[in-house]
């Protein structure tokens, strides 16, 4: 079985990693961890106002953050699953939803696992929903892992 796990370093992503790490997978399964990142739009239309190395620094920072998220996931999965399944990972540049879908198709994944940020309708409208896009367009099964809400602490009287 080929499992594509998409991570971004968020608590929702950590919940997806934990879900994968806690399961028993069929022998010879492969888990591929990917992190997709893309550079934000230019904050000003006057590109001359930006330092010459602005995009290089931005790309480097985004890649380092993505590498860190991927490496943390690989460490957790390797510790939990040992050598029972193959675990590999990569950082890819591009819009997360389309990058996840393209990689799943290219790698011929049987299952995609993503975390859900649990945004409401207004936030989804403004920011988009990677998990919703993946569920809607994937050519294989998709599992969306939600972060379990913690009960509110009791107030002292």
Residue 92 lies in a domain: yes
Residue 115 lies in a domain: yes
- 23 is in which domain, residue-wise? 2-146
Residue 153 lies in a domain: no
Residue 155 lies in a domain: no
- Per-residue CA distances from 57 to 1, 19, 21, 64 (Å): 38, 34, 34, 10
Q: Give pLDDT, residue 82.
A: 84
Full-model pTM: 0.84
Residue 156 lies in a domain: no
- The strand pair at 141-146 and 86-93 is best described as unpaired
How far does CA 96 lie from the centroid of its chain? 8
Chunked in runs of 10, what are the mean pLDDT values of the chain (157 residues)?
A: 95 94 93 91 63 83 94 96 91 94 98 81 56 93 83 55
Residue 121 lies in a domain: yes
Residue 114 lies in a domain: yes
Q: What is the CATH number of the domain that holds 64?
A: 3.40.50.620
Q: Give pLDDT, residue 68.
A: 96
Based on the structure, what is the number of domains in the chain?
A: 1
Residue 97 lies in a domain: yes
At 111, is the secondary structure helix, strand, or coil? Answer: strand
Q: Give pLDDT, residue 122.
A: 47
Q: Which of 27, 38, 15, 20 is nearest to 96 (CA)?
A: 38
């Amino acid at each position: 079985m080929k499992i594509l796990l998409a991570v971004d370093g968020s608590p929702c992503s950590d919940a997806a990693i934990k879900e994968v790490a806690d399961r028993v997978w069929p022998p010879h399964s492969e888990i591929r961890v990917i992190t997709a990142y893309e550079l934000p739009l230019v904050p000003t239309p006057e590109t001359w106002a930006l330092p010459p190395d602005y995009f290089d620094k931005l790309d480097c920072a985004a890649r380092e953050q993505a590498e860190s998220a991927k490496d943390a996931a690989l460490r957790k999965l390797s510790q939990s699953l040992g050598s029972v399944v193959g675990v590999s990972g990569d950082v890819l540049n591009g819009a997360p939803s389309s990058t996840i879908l393209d990689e799943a198709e290219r790698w011929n994944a049987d299952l995609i696992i993503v975390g859900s940020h649990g945004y409401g309708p207004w936030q989804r409208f403004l920011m988009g929903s990677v998990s919703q896009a993946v569920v809607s367009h994937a050519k294989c099964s998709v599992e969306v892992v939600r972060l379990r809400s913690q009960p509110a602490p009791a107030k002292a009287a």
